[in-house]
Amino acid sequence: MAGGCTMKKSFIALNLTILSLILVSFFPIQAQNCGTGNTRSSNYIQRDNDKRCEGIAPIDIAGSFSLISLSIGRIREMTDSLKLEVPSRNNRAPKVIVRSVPKNYQLDPLTLRPQGSRYQFKWSNYVIDREDIALESLRATASISDGKLIYLPVIFNQATTYDIVLFANARSQIKELQILQNNEVIYETSRPNWQPKGEIFFTWDGRTSDGKLAKAGLYELRVKALLEQDDAPPRNAPINITFEHNPQWLK
């Protein structure tokens, strides 16, 4: 009898677990990552009927050396509604993260809408304006899982170059930054001088080192850097990502 009760309880527990997983899969991811609150505040909370989580909160940048922005253009003026776009790849909605590191501003997660060959997101400028966040300080990444993690540029506006922004939590030396296709280096640069802690900026105009237009397709971004350490020699800090490039995105 006791054994039967135990089996029944286990069965009920299993069903509840399955039900909870189903519910989680149906409810928006926003509800799992930030709470509700006074939308007139600048706190990091759900906003606009749970279409986004946005606000001020300590930013946890994964790792001591990472890519925090792959984008095109800048938002030029503080309009009531701000906008970003991400190119579509295999009809998969990308995960987008928008941040302003100096102000601890975060916009993540958010709900994108299909718009032709791109995904689009519009949001109120309320928090950004209230906290006096400079539009040029916004950094953004977009990625999808398509067999592997693939980055796509976040398009804020028309521009002729990609903005690539790295973040280091210590002084760094960029030994080399390379862009490759099929393991062949098509573009490379470096920052041999020691860079201060924080953001490190690069641009790429979508061309090879000899000035030829790089064809549309998947490319690799490889970075080899040294990070300064207290009471120890500098340590190696690599970055390796795959991203999609299309010359039509640069105008």
Per-residue model confidence as pLDDT tens for the chain (251 residues): 545 544 444 444 444 333 333 333 333 333 335 999 999 999 999 999 888 999 999 887 767 899 999 999 999 999 999 999 999 999 999 999 999 999 999 999 999 999 999 999 999 999 999 999 999 999 999 999 999 999 999 999 999 999 999 999 999 999 999 999 999 999 999 999 999 999 999 999 999 999 999 999 999 999 999 999 999 999 999 999 999 999 999 99
pLDDT of residue 241: 98
Name residue, tokens 């993690």. 149
**CATH number of this structure's domain 163-251:** 2.60.40
pLDDT of residue 4: 53
CATH 2.60.40 placement within the chain: 28-57+74-157, 163-251
pLDDT of residue 18: 38
Which tokens is 47 given? 């906003």
pLDDT of residue 17: 38
Residue 143 near residue 151, CB atoms below 8 Å: yes
pLDDT of residue 59: 84
pLDDT of residue 31: 34
Predicted model pTM: 0.86
pLDDT of residue 61: 78
Which tokens is 90 given? 């295999």
**How far from each other are the two terminal CA atoms of the chain, in whole angstroms?**
75
**CATH number of this structure's domain 28-57+74-157:** 2.60.40
* Amino acid at site 2: A
pLDDT of residue 191: 96
Cβ count within 10 A of residue 130: 12
